[in-house]
Structures are given as C-alpha cells and as structure tokens.
Amino acid sequence: MALIGAAGCKKNHAPDAPDVSGPGLAEPGATLTFAVTTTDPDGDSVAYWIDWGDNTTPAWSPNQPSGEDYDVTHVYADSGAYYIRAKARDAAQAESQWSDSVRVSVGYRPPNMPFAPTGPKACTTTVWYDFKTRTTHPMGDSVAFQFYWGDTFGDWGPMVASGRTFTAPHVFDTFGMYKIAVRARDAHGFESGWSDSLRVRVGALHSPPGAPQNLTIAAATDSTVLISWTAPSGLYPDKYTVAFRQTGYDTFEKVGETTATSFVHNPAGGTGDYRVTAVYDDTAQYAALETPTTVPVWNSGTVVPELNGTEPVGYGWDRTTGQYTMYDMTVVDSAPKVDLYVTDFAQGSSGPDYYLASPFDAPTDPGGGIPAADWHITEYAYLDSAATENDPLPSYERSRYVDRRVIGPLIPILIACHTEDGYFALVNATEVDTVGGTATIETWFQLVPNLRLIQHY
C-alpha cells in the first residue's frame, strides 16, 4: 500500500521565468504600462514579484491565470536608466528564476535631426520661394522648426505633429550662394542638431528659348483659377501643358493642355503652384520660369490690442507679400492700409464680447479716438459648422458677410474675411483677453483677388 501511495503523488513544478515587455523610452512622470507573462507547467495560477530597478518596494501581485498577460503600470519620477525584472510564484509557493532584465531609459529626448530642406536650387531676388522639411520625435511629441537661410536665422515656426511636413516661405535680398539648413525644437525646449544643408544659387534668371513668358494667375471664378501667359517670341509651340502642385504634395501633376495662352483650372478646393510648359513636336519642352501660387500667406499668432488699447491697433495685409502690419488708427494716413481691428464697441476694453470689426465703423465706435477718413470696408462670415480651416471660404454674399463678428470669449474661432478690394482671408482667433484688452489672431491671406481658396497644409 505504501508503494501505491507514493506512486500516486504528483510533483509540483516551479513556473517558467517570466517575460517582461513594455516601452523602452519614457519621460519622467509618465505612467508606463508593462506586460508580464509566464506559464506554469502544472497549469497553476501565478503571482508576480516585479523589481522596478528604482527605490520602489516590490510586493507579490494577485494570482493570475497561467499563460495570460498581466498588465501593470509604473511611474519613474526621475531621469535615468532602469532595469526591470520579474519572477513568478505558483500556489504551492514554488518560485521561478528571474526574467531577463528590460531596460527603460527615462528622460526628455530632443527631436531627431530634420531632413535636409527641399525646394528650388536656383532662385532670384524679390520672389517668395517655399522650402520644406520634416522630422520625427522619439517620444512622438510635436516640434517647431527654425530655418537658417544662409545669412539670417528665421523665426521659430508653429508646432506641427511629429513626422509632418513643414513649409517655410523665404525671399532672398541679394545674389549669392546660400546654404540652407533647419533644426527642430520640442515643447520642453530640447533642440535637434542642424540638418544637412541645401545649396541654393540666387541670381538673375533667364527664360530658356521657347518657354512661355509672363506667367500669371487670377480668379476665373471665386473657386477656379485662370492661368495666363504670352507665347514665346517668334516661336509656335504645338501645345502647352499645365501642371499643378497641390499644397502638401511634392510633385507637379498635369491638369490639362491647350493651344491657347490661357487655361482655367478647377482645383477642387485646393491651393498650390502652377507650371506651364511649351511643347514642340512632342519632343522639345520648355517650362516657364515662373511658378505662381495660390497658397495663402500665413501670418503667425499676433497680439492685437482692443481699440482702447495701446496703439497701433489696426491690422492690415500687404497686397504684394500678404504679410501683415499694425497701424496707428489715430492717423488719417492709416485709413487705406487697415483691414480689421478688434473692439468691444464700448468705452474701455472690458467686453464682455470682442469683435472683428470693419475699419469703416471705427470713427463711430464708442471707444472713440478714430478720425473720419476713407477707411476700408471689411466684412466677415462664420464658417459652416462642418467646415475645416482648409476648406474654401464661404462665397461672398452681402446677406452672409457683415461688418462685425464676435470672436470671444468663446475661442478658438475661425472667421472668413472679405476686403473692400476683393481679397479673402481666414482669421483664427486663438485667445481673447478682456482683462489685458487684447485678442490673439493668426491669419491666412489669399494674394489672388476674388479667390476664396485658403488651403494651407
């Protein structure tokens, strides 16, 4: 009987050494999730003892089913390199061997070095050119970019998502050879190294023989584009091809061909650059040097004082560059330059509501102090509820566009602008401060008159 009883005993086996998996990089204070798993040869439930590699006192976890992941969280308060390991124990108190150690590096990381800028390698002065770059962040954080233009440093741009392409416009003032580079910075202030450079020659450009001349664009309708040019002197191309490079894309795509010296393109709400090429016998092709664009000009967030605030309070766009300037509205000479101002239509600046307002209304604004003059009429419209900031702005209708629209304190808010001379713009009111008497706005200005396309990324 003793032999039979001994043969019936079942030997307990310790669990296998666990596997530990989780993030290898983290920021201080972040809640990290790790998965621990093992199997018990006898199918017993198991508990885990986790050594986090810091000063945390471990404790056995509740029992978990054999073979199933056990998710557990941990927070590292300080930067450093930590090694995590775990062991398992079954219901009979048999313990496994330690797992292999898993390394976690905790600390802030700078963005990765951006890709070398891309853009035209031959430019001339007084013309705006677009240059692009992108990078990723090890932690997936958003980044801002700063360009070095070969002789000056550009401003830091807005934050964009990790991996997203960023476009910076630039105009060169003098002839020469320039090396353009870019770096990135995250919200913690950590900066990448400078990228590889792009060499750009800036000088006098000369059209090749047989190329279309004097390429221009205008609005055919408020959402279609008329591209016009003159024929090469003394030459007769078989046809012209028209190509379009939409905002957010790197290459030109053919959108049509014609034997005339103009073409109407429907970009389906998009903006971008145009190129026209003269074709001879389907073999010789000469592209115009000009690549006119419908991409709106971006003006970064600007603090605009309310009418009763410190001058200057008038905001106006340059019709050649699209860049804004602030003007003193107590000066009559500012009248033809101001496109909008911010007001609460009351004395003082306490609100409760702030408006974008037509300069034409300023002389009668209860805030006072604005002289009678030939001030511009600018009108505003809210976007449709389903519209995004890249959709075409609403068509200009007097029933929809009015001389004032509330921008705060409910923010952010997007408002379409239509100026007296037919230009469209988009205003993003990002902050209204009735205590400080200011509103912060960023804008996109469409340089093509009467065109309501505003796509900018």
pLDDT tens digits, 233-270: 878 889 999 999 999 998 899 999 999 999 999 999 99
Task: Summarize pLDDT for 94-111 with one digit per residue, the tens.
Answer: 999 999 999 998 888 899
Q: How confident is the model at residue 9 (pLDDT cuts 50, 70, 90)?
A: low
- pLDDT band at 205, cuts 50/70/90? confident
pTM given for the model = 0.59
Quote the mean pLDDT of the chain. 92
Model pLDDT, residue 8: 53
Confidence class for position 283, pLDDT limits 50, 70, 90: low
Q: Give the range among 102-111, 137-146, 358-367 with minimum mean pLDDT.
A: 102-111
Provide the percentage of residues in the chain whose pLDDT is more than 70: 97
Looking at the chain, which residues constitute the CATH 2.60.40.10 domain(s)?
12-106, 122-202, 213-287
The arrangement of secondary structure in 122-202, i.e. its CATH architecture, is Sandwich (2.60)
Q: Domain 12-106 falls in which CATH fold?
A: Immunoglobulin-like (2.60.40)
Return the CATH superfamily for domain 213-287: Immunoglobulins (2.60.40.10)
Which stretch of 173-187, 407-421, 430-444 has the lowest confidence by average pLDDT?
407-421
pLDDT score recorded for residue 4: 45
Q: How far apart are the first and last CA of the chain?
A: 85
